[in-house]
A and B are shown apart, each in its own frame.
Chain A
Amino acid sequence: MYSTDLRTDQEKKSADPQVLDDAKLWDTFQSRIDNGDVIEAKDDMPEKYRQTLIRQISQHAHSEIVGQLPEGNWVTRAPTLKRKLILLAKIQDEAGHGLYLYSAAETLGRSRDDMVADLLSGKAKYSTIFNYPTPTWADIGTIGWLVDGAAVTNQIPLCRCSYGPYARAMVRVCKEESFHQRQGYEIVTVLAQGTLAQKALAQDSLNRFWWPSLMMFGPSDSASTHSSQNMKWKIKRHSNDELRQRFVDATVPQAEFLGLSIPDADMRWNEERGSYDHGEINWDEFWAVIKDGGICGKDRIRARRAAAKDGQWVRAAAHAYAQKQETKERVA
């Protein structure tokens, strides 16, 4: 998910904090967590807790910001004025989510400028889902339905994360995500109930985004070695597979309702578990997209760099204006 640790083992190792916290701090901290205490910005915390959260929250923020790009592609091509207005509102929300999250990460002691610099240099990761292209209008519907749907599944438990500023930001984000998911499903519904060509467009888009959406929840529990400490610290409340299953169980009936088929031959209802069984996820593809950026990775970073460069004069002008006002006030 937006918050899954996407670094390679090598990157994780080299990023491990040099300062070793003393064992007593870990113990008292853990007992606060076990008591259900919420940790606030200035509280004592293990360095590893702080670093984990900075990495996770900033990566989440980058995902929201980069997530605007596949959708921005369709603002000028939206089929109606209504859809264009909805899309603009959604993209504005994504920018807002990014800003809430950067602020939450800043409370842990890293500046937004530094975090953004990491994104632009390619050092920071963001969700792999945004490196897939959006060649058709149906993709805008599918992204809202599946990608934002997966995000909601992941983010609702984050509202109860042990770190207060992150949890509060997630409450705000979740309120807005539900609009995103519904507008997406509505786009897909209109297509699925339209002409045969429109329905085919919706099916094709589902075929392309289904598996990448499942991958958003991160590696399978059996392969994910880093989540137990995060569970213990209540940064994370449920395992990757648990959340993925929740998403599958919610989404399959939604696809059936529209007469669309999930592109997974092994997908079937498991009466005993009361859940859907799904086929194997192609993790090689997941890691390959992280490593080489997939189809759109280079474009995404290029777009963010261009935005930073092209906006520089605006920031410079705002700075000059602020300075001028300040001088005027001082003189008066």
Chain B
Amino acid sequence: MSTFKQHSILPGFNLALGFTLLYLSLIVLIPLSAAFIRTAELTWPEFWTIVTAPRVMASYRLTFGASFAAAMVNAFFGLLVAWVLVRYHFIGKRIIDALVDLPFALPTAVAGIALTALYAGNGWIGQFLEPMGIKVAFTPLGIFVALTFIGLPFVVRTVQPVLEDIEAELEEAAATLGANRWQTFSRVIFPALFPALMTGFALAFARAIGEYGSVIFIAGNMPMVSEITPLLIITKLEQYDYAGATALSVVMLVISFILLLIINLLQWWSRRRSSKT
């Protein structure tokens, strides 16, 4: 029989692992299992009726659609920002580099009210868009704006280190062989960045699916139109519909776990790719 742990002369393994497992069980695993166990009290048809009700389906479409669109925009601009920060020199680069993490550090409620004030009809940005017939605040477009804000750092921060590590020799070789700059980018640099780009996209997408704080202020929260799934969970909870809220949260949890699995696979692919080059 093979052993669970390899021998080491360092002390404290049992204490450290025991505490880690106890803490994780109490804080994370037991509470998370509550959602699944409570949902198991429902019969399958009951569960299915709750999680496929028309209002719920509309919230899925909105949540996934807006999250996907926001993650796509972040993939494009995140790659651009990472490129500019790694490859070019300009005044204020350091400060901009540090500020890219702002959406991680800024509480989501603050982001929510700031974006709402900006994109409302009388806001700094909204006043220019409204005459053109573009309404952002209190529409699904506002949700997209909020999700773009909170997902912004993910692609930048996953692509940046990979871009820094690409060896100049590769590009020089491409240039020597007669590739122009665009060919070098699309055939040499982009394929090397692609796994990291996909990881960043998936992280931004996963974060956007569950996002609540920054969205509810700008969304308008109209059932069937601009109501995201996390808000629907809260609404059900406030109506004391615990079964409904729990069933929806199980759907969200299963989706998060699948995304987590995909992200882990992408990161593994990304690491393998970068260790090869």
* Genuine A/B complex: no
Binding site for A on B (CB under 8 A): none
Chain A residues packing against B (C-beta within 8 Å): none
